C-alpha cells in the first residue's frame, strides 16, 4: 500500500520503520509479493518501487474498494477450488461469520442450479460465494437470489452505464446473453436459517474465444460487451458494496422491498412468457412475482404460481 501510494521509490528503511519490522523482513516480504505476481524495481540507494500489480482477487486488493461494514471484510482467496459455494458452505459450517467470502481464480466443478455446470475459465471472471446469516424462516430465503441479481445489476450500471436485463429467477443478461448467474444454498436448523451461501458467477474479462462451445450462443461478458478489460478486484469490491446495500434493505423491508425492486427492474409484468418447470411448459401473461419469489402466470384467466423453473425465449 505504501509503495502503491507513493508511486516512486521507497527506501527499505522507511518501509521497515512504518511497519515496525526489520529490513530483512521487508526484503522477505517483497520477495513474497514477487512470487504473488507483483513487479518491483529495486535500487541499492533508493529502495523499492512497485511497477506491476497482478490481476488477482487477493483479499487486500478487493479490500481497497470496499465501503461495507461486514460483507467482504474477510475474503478467502484460492487459485482453484471445486466450487466456491461448496467451499464457503464448509467454512460456514465451521462458524465463519456473516459477510465472509470465498473467491477463486477458477472452479473445477462450478455449480449452476439443478446439477447444471458453471463454466469457470481461469483468471477471467468472478466466482464468489458470500456467507449470510439472516434471522429468517427457510421459506423466506428465496428473495436473496433477487438481491444478488440486483447487486450485479447495479455493479454493471456503475461500471459501464449499461442497463442489463433481469431474467427470472436468477440471470442477469446483456443484449439477451447471460453475463451472470446466482446460486443460493442454505443450511437450516429447526425452523430457522443457519446460513445462506450466495454464489455469484459473473463473466468479466472472458473473450468469445474462451467461451465453451456449449454456451457460445447464450453467454457474454462485460469485456465482450464493452471492449474493455476490467480490474476484477475493483468489480468484486463494487459488487460487495451493492450486495451489502441490498441485503440491508432486505433485512429492513423484507421480501416485499426486494421482490418489488427486482420486479420493477426486470419489467416483466404483462409480458407473455413460457416457463419450463420439471419438463412441463407453461405459457401465460406475467402477473408478477409473489413474496416467495415465485412467478405468477396468468394462463387464460387462471393464475398459476411457479416456484422454480426456466424461462424459455
Ligand atoms: C446459474 O445456474 O446461473 C447459477 C450459477 C452460479 C455460479 C456461481 S460461480 C460461484 C458459485 N460457486 C458455484 O459453484 N456456483 C456459484 P442456472 O440458472 O442453472 O444456469 C446454468 C446454465 O447457465 C448452464 O446450464 C449453461 O447453460 C449456462 N452457463 C454455464 N456457465 C456459464 C457462464 N460462465 N456464463 C454464462 N452462462 C453459463
Task: Quote the pLDDT of residue 151.
Answer: 98
Count Cβ neighbours within 10 Å for each residue of 200-227 and write b for 16 or more, e otherwise.
bbbbbbbeeeebeeeeeeebbbbbbbee
Which helix (H) or strand (E) segment holds residue 240: the answer is: helix 232-266
Minimum CA distance residue for ligand 1 atom 9? 201
pLDDT tens, position by position, 150-189 = 999 999 999 999 999 999 999 999 999 999 999 999 999 9
Name the pLDDT band for 63 (thresholds 50, 70, 90). Answer: very high
Rounded to the nearest 5°, which phi and psi values hold at 118?
Answer: -110, 115
Using alpha carbons only, give the angle 102, 104, 109 rounded to the nearest 5 degrees.
100
Minimum CA distance residue for ligand 1 atom 2? 112
Other Cβ atoms within 10 Å of 143 Cβ, number: 26
Which atom belonging to ligand 1 lies closest to the Cα atom of 109? 14
Q: Spell out the domains of the chain, with CATH numbers in brackets.
A: 2-52 (1.10.10.10), 59-266 (3.30.930.10), 272-312 (2.30.30.100)
Task: Quote the pLDDT of residue 2.
Answer: 77
The answer to whether residue 1 scores a pLDDT higher than 80 is no
Minimum CA distance residue for ligand 1 atom 21? 112
The answer to whether residue 15 scores a pLDDT higher than 70 is yes
pLDDT tens, position by position, 18-57 = 999 999 999 999 999 999 999 999 998 899 999 999 999 9
Name the pLDDT band for 312 (thresholds 50, 70, 90). Answer: confident
Task: Quote the pLDDT of residue 313.
Answer: 64
For residue 25, count CB atoms less than 10 angstroms from its CB and return exposed for 0-12, middle for 13-18, buried for 19 or more.
middle
HSE-up (13 A, CA, CB side) for residue 133: 15
- According to DSSP, the β-strands at 101-107 and 75-81 are parallel
Task: Quote the pLDDT of residue 113.
Answer: 95
Task: Quote the pLDDT of residue 190.
Answer: 86
Output the pTM of the full model.
0.95
Q: How far apart are the CA of 269 and the centre of ligand 1, in A?
A: 25
Q: How far is CA 88 from CA 73, 126, 174, 180, 185, in A?
A: 14, 15, 28, 19, 10
Ligand 1 neighbours (beta carbon < 6 A):
83-85, 107, 110-114, 116, 118-119, 127-129, 170, 178, 181-183, 199-201, 203, 215, 219
Q: How far apart are the CA of 117 and the centre of ligand 1, in A?
A: 6
Point out the least confidently predicted range of 1-10, 84-93, 197-206: 1-10
The answer to whether residue 270 scores a pLDDT higher than 70 is yes
Share of the chain above pLDDT 70, in %: 100
Ligand 1 pocket, mutate which of 181, 224, 225, 278 (most atoms under 8 A from CB): 181
Task: Quote the pLDDT of residue 97.
Answer: 97
Q: How far apart are the CA of 98 and the centre of ligand 1, in A?
A: 24
Q: Taking residues 234-252, report their average pLDDT.
A: 97
CB 144 within 8 A of CB 182: no
Q: For 96, which DSSP code? A: P
Which grid cell is 279? 419438463
Q: Is 78 left (phi over 0), alpha (psi -120 to 50) or beta?
A: beta
Average pLDDT of the residues of the chain: 95
Q: Taking residues 58-87, report their average pLDDT.
A: 97
Q: How far apart are the CA of 144 and the centre of ligand 1, in A?
A: 17
Q: How far apart are the CA of 289 and the centre of ligand 1, in A?
A: 22
Minimum CA distance residue for ligand 1 atom 35? 219
Amino acid at each position: 500500500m505504501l509503495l502503491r501510494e507513493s508511486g516512486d521509490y521507497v527506501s527499505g528503511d522507511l518501509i521497515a520503520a512504518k511497519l515496525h519490522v526489520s529490513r530483512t523482513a521487508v526484503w522477505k516480504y517483497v520477495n513474497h509479493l514477487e512470487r504473488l505476481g507483483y513487479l518491483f524495481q529495486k535500487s541499492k540507494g533508493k529502495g523499492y518501487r512497485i511497477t506491476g500489480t497482478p490481476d488477482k482477487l487477493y483479499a487486500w486488493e478487493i479490500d481497497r474498494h470496499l465501503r461495507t461494514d461486514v460483507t467482504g471484510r474477510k475474503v478467502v482467496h484460492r487459485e482453484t477450488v471445486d466450487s466456491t459455494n461448496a467451499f464457503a458452505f464448509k467454512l460456514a459450517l465451521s462458524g465463519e461469520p456473516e459477510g465472509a467470502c470465498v473467491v477463486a481464480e477458477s472452479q473445477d466443478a462450478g455449480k449452476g442450479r439443478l446439477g447444471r455446470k458453471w463454466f469457470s475459465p481461469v483468471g477471467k471472471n468472478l466466482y464468489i460465494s458470500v456467507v449470510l446469516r439472516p434471522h429468517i424462516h427457510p421459506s423466506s430465503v428465496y428473495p436473496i437470489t433477487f438481491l444478488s441479481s440486483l447487486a450485479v445489476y447495479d455493479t454493471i450500471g456503475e461500471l459501464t452505464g449499461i442497463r442489463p436485463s433481469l431474467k427470472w429467477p436468477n440471470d442477469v443478461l446483456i443484449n439477451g446473453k447471460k453475463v451472470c448467474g446466482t446460486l443460493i444454498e442454505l443450511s437450516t436448523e429447526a425452523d430457522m436459517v443457519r446460513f445462506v451461501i450466495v454464489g455469484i458467477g459473473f463473466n468479466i474479462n472472458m473473450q468469445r474465444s474462451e467461451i465453451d462451445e456449449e454456451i457460445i450462443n447464450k453467454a457474454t461478458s462485460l469485456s465482450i460487451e464493452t471492449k474493455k478489460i476490467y480490474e476484477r478486484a475493483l468489480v468484486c469490491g463494487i459488487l460487495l458494496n451493492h450486495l451489502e446495500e441490498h441485503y440491508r434493505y432486505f433485512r429492513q423491508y423484507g421480501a416485499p422491498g426486494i421482490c418489488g425492486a427486482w420486479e420493477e427492474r426486470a419489467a416483466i409484468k404483462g409480458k407473455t412468457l413460457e416457463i419450463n418447470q420439471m419438463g412441463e411448459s407453461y405459457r401465460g401473461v406475467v402477473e408478477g412475482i409473489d413474496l416467495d419469489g415465485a412467478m405468477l402466470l396468468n394462463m387464460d384467466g387462471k393464475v398459476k404460481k411457479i416456484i422454480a423453473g426456466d424461462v424459455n425465449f
